[in-house]
Amino acid sequence: MALIVHKYGGTSMGSTERIRSVAQRVAKWVHAGHQMVVVPSAMSGETNRLLGLAKELMPNATTPEAMRELDAIAATGEQVSVGLLALALQAQGVSAVSYGGWQVPLETDSAFTKARITRIDDRRVRADLAAGRVVIITGFQGIDAEGNVTTLGRGGSDTSAVAVAAALKAAECLIYTDVDGVYTTDPRIVPEARRLSTISFEEMLEMASLGSKVLQIRSVEFAGKYRVPTRVLSSFTPHDIPIDEEAVSGTLITFEEDEKMEQAVVAGIAFNRDEAKISVIGVPDRPGIAYALLGPVAEANIDVDVIIQNVSHDGRTDFSFTVHRNDYARTMELLKAKILPAVGAADVRGDARICKVSIVGIGMKSHVGVAARMFQTLSSEGINIQMITTSEIKTSVVLDEKYMELAVRALHKAFGLEEPKAAG
Ligand code: ADP
Ligand code: ASP
Ligand code: MG
């Protein structure tokens, strides 16, 4: 008997029929003798619907008091789904109880719409488990020190599940979704993408942070920090498949660099359209200029990602960087109103039609020429690279967004990701 956490995403919880199937799957695990905690998302489309209603009344809800209400609204999606799942289990004769994050309580800081989990009180959950109940906890949300409901950011149910698994020292956290694991890239963009049976924690962290929305990045951080055995698998297999088969399906995140593991130079390709590029033109090229431009941006709590400074001509240079698209308008305003006059730059230009495409793999640590192959592949497709950034295990390029799918497909092919990898 083990304590297991299951997480079911929006599509997996998308209708009462799907919820019944989730309940049947969970019941199978209960009947096999396991203690079960289940963390569901809202029914698919529900969080978007709720935030859409909010937007009709306030298109730009950016003040703390408005963001508090956004969280109160968005959190209701999961509150419905936990109750429905508890009923579906009870209807099958399985004792189950549902809790909102605030009832556990799952405590967070007060950063509305992107709160961080600070502590999980496991007493209530443990008492229910000891009494033989399945415990169902809302994904995506918690409560801050002042008693406000908070949410963890889009896709945050993954993080709730892994954090709950860490707090309860669960034997495993199974993330059930609408694909049967983590693929070399999003199978919706490249149908030839291949499922990885394992992926190293470091690679999964990069894939998630660079845009693979299959797992929210903070869930991967929790998995790493607390060494939670975490597996991504499908909720669309027949609910009565043998448990032994189900338990080894999907993709396992691994923490050891194992010789026998799939070792490719590039494990996967991530991409996103979440950023916008800003170029400051004609900046005086003198010491301290990067700080003069980006210091006030950081003070406004805006994260800067890729940065590039051009060679200077006649004592002036161009300076470009990317920010999240949600922060684009705010950053442009800040630059125009305050920063440009202060540094004496000539102009600022913005481009929100960019994408970032990244190759990720721990094998890149020990192989040279990987980035060059990436640049060559893009060049032979006639794709212009606007910015480049690298780390030990990834290379990212910023491109015109119209080339995103072409770039991902070409790179997937160039790095042989469709081919089965040789063992050893
Ligand atoms: P859930 O609602 O279950 O949380 P998500 O939509 O958040 O599901 O995540 C699953 C989706 O992630 C898949 O349908 C797939 O399109 C997308 N995805 C992006 N990159 C990958 C990848 N590398 N491997 C698998 N799925 C990916
Ligand atoms: N329901 C939330 C969202 O749509 C959280 C999640 O599904 O993980 O973002
Ligand atoms: Mg998700």
- Which residue's CA is the closest to the ligand 1 atom numbered 10? 214
Which atom of ligand 2 lies at the shortest distance from residue 78's CA? 1
> What is the position in ligand 1's atom list of the atom closest to the CA of 175?
3
In order of their start, the domains of the chain are 3-256 (3.40.1160.10), 268-414 (3.30.2130.10)
Task: Tell me the pLDDT tens digit for each residue of 23-49.
Answer: 999 999 999 999 999 999 999 999 999
Mutate to test the pocket of ligand 2, among 39, 106, 140, 176 (most ligand atoms within 8 A of CB): 140
Closest ligand to residue 159's CA = 2
Q: How far is the CA of 43 from the centre of ligand 2 (A)?
A: 9
Tell me the C-alpha to C-alpha distance, in Å, between residue 108 and each of 67, 113, 232, 339: 15, 11, 25, 34
Residue 1 has pLDDT above 90, yes or no: no
Name the residue of 175, 186, 195, 417 whose CB sits within 8 Å of the most ligand 1 atoms, as the mutation to test its pocket: 186
Which tokens in the block code for residue 30? 């209960």
Worst-scoring range by mean pLDDT, 28-32, 150-154, 343-347, 358-362? Answer: 343-347
Q: Tell me: the pLDDT tens digits for 113-122?
A: 999 999 999 9
Q: Is the pTM of this model over 0.85?
A: yes
Residues near ligand 2 with C-beta < 6 Å? Answer: 9-10, 41-42, 47, 77, 139-140, 154-158
20 CA distance to ligand 2 middle (Å): 20
Could you read off the pLDDT of 261-289 as tens digits, one per residue? 556 799 999 999 999 999 999 999 999 99
* Residue range 91-95: mean pLDDT, rounded: 98
Ligand located closest to 39 CA: 2
Model pLDDT for residues 282-328, shown as the tens digit of each residue = 999 999 999 999 999 999 989 999 999 988 888 999 999 999 998 99
Omega into 105 within 30° of 0, i.e. cis? yes
Using CA atoms, how far apart are residues 384 and 365, in angstroms rounded to an integer? Answer: 26
Supply the pLDDT for residue 424.
45
User: Any idea which ligand is nearest the CA of 267?
Assistant: 1
CB 323 within 8 A of CB 303: yes
pLDDT of residue 362: 93
Report the pocket of ligand 1 as residue ranges, CB < 6 Å.
Answer: 9-12, 41, 155, 177-179, 182-183, 185-186, 188, 212-214, 268
